[in-house]
Amino acid sequence: FRKAVAGGLRRDSVIYNTLLSGCLQHRQWRVADMLLEEMQQQAVERTSVTNSVVVRMWSQRGDLEKAIAAVYGALETQGVPSQGGRRPRAAPVDAYVGCCLVGACMHHREPKRALEIFRDMRTWPHFDGPDLRTYNAMICGLARHRFLHEAVKLVEELCATQHTARIVKAIGHGTFQQLFRALRERGDRAAKLSEGLVRTLADAGIAMQHSWLAD
């Protein structure tokens, strides 16, 4: 990289994102920190790819708070244009970055934080989420952590606002299987919740799959 730059290679976000992705894959945290600092020094724009890598990096390093701070720090300048090209443009936070962040919360066994952030997303400036992929991550994570009322409520939101084909495509069979398994494990305490979920899916034209009810 250094030789290529010395030979005239233009420093841009594509190059840095590629290097940062490699650092994430190989857990080279010191190199990643150096690259991020260099991006700032060279006024290289952070993209949504950069921010998604940063979130996953801090999650793998065991620091959820820094992952959250990275996203909210980027949101402070989201949509603010660069000034004379002398400083980076506002770091984009798109739906995938949001999905990575709630996924990090679930990975760190913080479903309540994930819910707070998910709800807060609707107020984020210049933000195109939460998208169906984020709903899938939330429903799966909430079911895994036994936040069953909240998981079912998100399914109900989707069924009320999204086309059936989009729901079936985005919410994987594994997610529904996990949710129904968690409901069964609660037994009679979750019977009404389970029955309501079945009705919601039926009303939305989503056919029940045998695999969802299998142990």
Read off the pLDDT of residues 97-140 as tens digits, 9 standing for 90 and up: 999 999 999 999 999 999 999 999 999 988 988 999 999 999 99
In the structure encoding, which two tokens stand for residue 198, read together? 């079945």
pLDDT at position 85, please? 53
Q: How far apart are the first and last CA of the chain?
A: 51
Q: Identify the three-state secondary structure at position 10.
A: coil
Distances (CA, A) of 140 to 34, 96, 125, 176, 182: 35, 16, 26, 8, 10
pLDDT of 77 reads 76
Tokens of 75: 């949101």
The three-class DSSP label of residue 149 is helix
Global pTM reads 0.90
Residue corresponding to tokens 């990575």: 100
> Tell me, what's the pLDDT at 7?
57
Q: How many residues does the chain have?
A: 215
Q: Is the pLDDT of residue 65 over 70?
A: yes
